[in-house]
Structures are given as C-alpha cells and as structure tokens.
Amino acid sequence: MTFIKRFDHVGITVADLDAATAFFVSLGLEADRKMAVEGEFLDTVIGMTGARTEIVMLRAPGGGTTLELSSFTRPDHLPSSPAPANALGLRNVAFEVHDLHAAVDHAAADGYGLVGGIGEYEGVWRMAYVRGPEGIIVSLAERIEK
C-alpha cells in the first residue's frame, strides 16, 4: 500500500522572512502573500502552546512542489549555525536553473557565496551550492545541452 499521494512542499524556518523571501524571489520563484498561522491547529501540529508563525509559499513559474518559508513570532527562534554539507538532516533545497553562472553571479552580488565551486557531473549537469540567507544551502543546477 502506498500512503504518499504527491510531494507537496519543503518547509524552512527562518528569522528574517522578508530577506529569505526576497532571496528566493530574486532567483525566480513566485511568492504568495504572507499569512499568519496560530491557534489550536498550529499548537497541535508543532507540539507547542501559544505559537504564532508567518509563512510565505513560493513556487517555480511552472508550478509543482512549493517551498514554505516560516518565521515564528511566538515562541522566540532557537539559535542555530550554518551546517556543513555533510551534516545530518536536510542538506539543501535544489532548483534547476537556465544559466548557472548568471544565477551564481546574481546570488554573489546580493552577498551569497558559493559553498565550494561549480562542478560538472558526467557532462550532463553543472551544479553549485550557494549559501543563502541564514545559512540555507541552495543547490543550483543547469542541464548541459549537447
């Protein structure tokens, strides 16, 4: 029996929702309006009492799986530090791009640098990890046309 119907979204908690949203929009995602969630539903799902969060859902221009950015106004955020690429847990959020070098240059102009370098996989993919806002690793990949 299969329980999963479809892949819906990936959620990332951030301290600065506006800055994180601007970063992903600058790469080409489209943002829905910011909305607040609080009450019994949220408290039940996350196992906390009196929680309040603001969220923005982002999607690629063609649709599909979404990215949920969330910032808690209650309770306060817990400190974290940027994890290296080999840390256990969610490693990165990945996007296929039209022009990898232009996307990397664009991110760098906004102050977001490469984790390593731009690599090429078997003549099929060119890929790089960019360290985005709040240490989020964003994988950008471009299919190499032959």
67 is written with which tokens?
Answer: 């990215």
pLDDT of 146 higher than 80: no
pLDDT per residue over 66-82, tens digit each?
Answer: 999 999 999 988 877 77
pLDDT (average), residues 129-135: 92
Q: What is the pTM of this model?
A: 0.87
How are beta strands 66-74 and 9-13 bridged, if at all?
parallel
